[in-house]
Amino acid sequence: MVKLTQEVKDSMQGVKTIFLATCSRAGVPNVVPMGAYKVLDDETMLLSDQFMQKSLSNMQENPRVALTYWSEKGGFQIKGTVTLHKDDQVFKDDVAWVKGMKPTLNPKTAIVMKITDVYVVKPGPDAGKKLL
């Protein structure tokens, strides 16, 4: 596991949409915009599934994920491994958090992502460089 630095956490501030990539067992990538995410602690992110279909089935087959975002403050790519929570305290906490933002949303799965790597994505000679 790696720990997110303040620079990486700051770059996420105010980012409404991140892009989550998953991959089926057969090797077909999938990538979707999503908004319900947060940093749980420096090694862990929470992603909340309200509408996922292929992303969810891919994570059931293959727990490796990658996400990225790009804003005026830049962006990074964060990779990790997920566990899926549907009927436990993690899921209950996710439901409370999401409904606190928008009561009409109905989370189906709480996705806990343990961070394994962080990469630079800013165009230029450092693009793709492993930061963490």
Judged by the rule CB under 8 A, the positions of this chain that interact with its own copies are: 17, 19-23, 25, 27-33, 35, 50-55, 62, 64-70, 75, 77, 79, 119, 121, 123-125, 127-128
| Residue nearer to its own copies on the CB measure, 73 or 88 | 73
Closest distance to its own copies from the beta carbon of 98 (Å): 12
CA–CA distance, 130 with 110 (Å, rounded to integer): 28
Residue 120 token pair: 């630079």
SS3 (DSSP) at 102: coil
| Residue nearer to its own copies on the CB measure, 9 or 16 | 16
Closest distance to its own copies from the beta carbon of 89 (Å): 26
The residue type at 35: G
| Residue nearer to its own copies on the CB measure, 28 or 40 | 28
**Cβ atoms of residues 81 and 65 within 8 Å:** yes
CA–CA distance, 107 with 119 (Å, rounded to integer): 29
Alpha helix (H) residue ranges in 3-88: 6-12, 54-61
| Residue nearer to its own copies on the CB measure, 77 or 109 | 77
